[in-house]
Amino acid sequence: MGCYAIGDIQGCFRELQTLLRQINYRPGRDRLWFTGDLVNRGPQSLETLRFVAGLGDHAVTVLGNHDLHLLAAAHEPRNIKRKDTLHAILDAPDRDELLDWLRRRPLLHHDPESGYTMVHAGLPPQWDLDAAARCAHEVEAVLSSPGFGSYLDHMYGDLPEIWREDLAGRDRLRFITNCFTRLRYCDADGRLALPYKGSPGSQPKGIYPWFELADRRSRDQKIVFGHWSTLGERSDKGIFPLDTGCLWGGQLTALRLDGEPRWHRLPCHGARKPGKN
């Protein structure tokens, strides 16, 4: 049985199917990990969501910021943005089943056998694996509860910037959500620098990729993540970035996790271009 982690799809369903053929994916035998952002901006979000949900126990996906945005848009239509491509899901006859499945996905997945941990975006330096798992469970419990709409109403925002164990309520849930689904950069003290989204080298002095902080407590982990399409290939120990910009004309990437890591990359035409509406 093979196990492959696949980067952000964002509705690029045809490219996903081509990549699965390229890696000789065997349905019912191989296991797939998805780094989140299954949907939005690409042309086939509904098909992507149906496919991944239909894989059942043969796949695991963590929630990304676009997946949470879909849930927020379904909860409150005023959250829909001009560039979103979510209407096919929101108008689908199986909408409720798909959204219920999606909101019950984890924010973090750890496999003790292989040692890999998967998140969508990153981990703040203050969290080791145990702390990250506990924090993930807090948000997962709220999302899977009948009162999840209140969480979605207060999910957006950049504050608070830094972790404190005594954070509570909406601030605590928002900080946790931002780490798992939006994080790219931190300052030297571990404050989230969410406004900065470009490739390394484009950020101001004193701002660093989250995985470069020397005192990061998750440095002993092997972390698979997506979200950062401009990050580029990295050789950092224990860091496996998988969002290689399929949506923007880059590549769709799969990493084989069983045995020695093996990369598979599919060149993509790009469903969108920077600045394209």
For 161-168, the CB contacts below 8 A with 24+ separation are 161/191, 161/192, 162/189, 162/190, 162/191, 162/192, 163/124, 163/126, 163/127, 163/190
The pTM of this model reads: 0.96
Do the domain assignments include residue 236? yes
CA angle (211, 217, 219) in 5-degree steps = 50
Phi, psi of 256 (to 5 degrees): -80, 125
Do the domain assignments include residue 68? yes
Residue 159 structure tokens:
């504050």
Is the CA virtual torsion 75, 80, 84, 88 positive or negative? Answer: positive
**Residue 245, strand partner residues:** 251
Do the domain assignments include residue 223? yes
pLDDT tier at 275 (50, 70, 90 boundaries)?
Answer: very low
Question: What's the CA gap between 28 and 55, in Å, rounded?
Answer: 8
Q: Helices (DSSP H) in 121-258: which residue ranges?
A: 129-143, 148-153, 169-182
CB atoms closer than 10 angstroms to residue 44: 22
Dump pLDDT digits (tens) for 209-227: 999 999 999 999 999 999 9
Do the domain assignments include residue 276? no
Do the domain assignments include residue 194? yes
DSSP 19-84: HHHHTT--TTTSEEEE-S--SSSSS-HHHHHHHHHHTGGGEEE---HHHHHHHHHHH-GGG--TT-
Phi, psi of 255 (to 5 degrees): -125, 120
Do the domain assignments include residue 273? no
Question: What's the CA gap between 132 and 103, in Å, rounded?
Answer: 19
Do the domain assignments include residue 86? yes
Do the domain assignments include residue 258? yes
The number of helix segments (H) and strand segments (E) in the chain equals 8, 11
DSSP 125-150: TT--HHHHHHHHHHHHHHHTSTTHHH
Q: For residue 24, what is the domain's CATH number?
A: 3.60.21.10
Give the mean model confidence (pLDDT) for residues 118-129.
98
| Cis status, amide bond into 160, omega within 30 of 0 | yes
Q: Kindly tell me if the per-residue pLDDT of 51 is higher than 90.
A: yes
Question: Residue 261 contacts by C-beta under 8 Å, 6 or more apart in sequence?
Answer: 240, 255
- Which residue range(s) make up the domain with 119? 3-267
Question: What's the CA gap between 149 and 158, in Å, rounded?
Answer: 19
For residue 273, what pLDDT is reported?
53
Dump pLDDT digits (tens) for 239-262: 999 999 999 999 999 999 998 889
For residue 259, what pLDDT is reported?
86
Count of the separate structural domains present in the chain: 1
Dump pLDDT digits (tens) for 84-116: 999 999 999 999 999 999 999 999 999 999 999
Query: Which of these, 9, 61, 57, 14, lies nearest to 34 by C-alpha position?
Result: 61
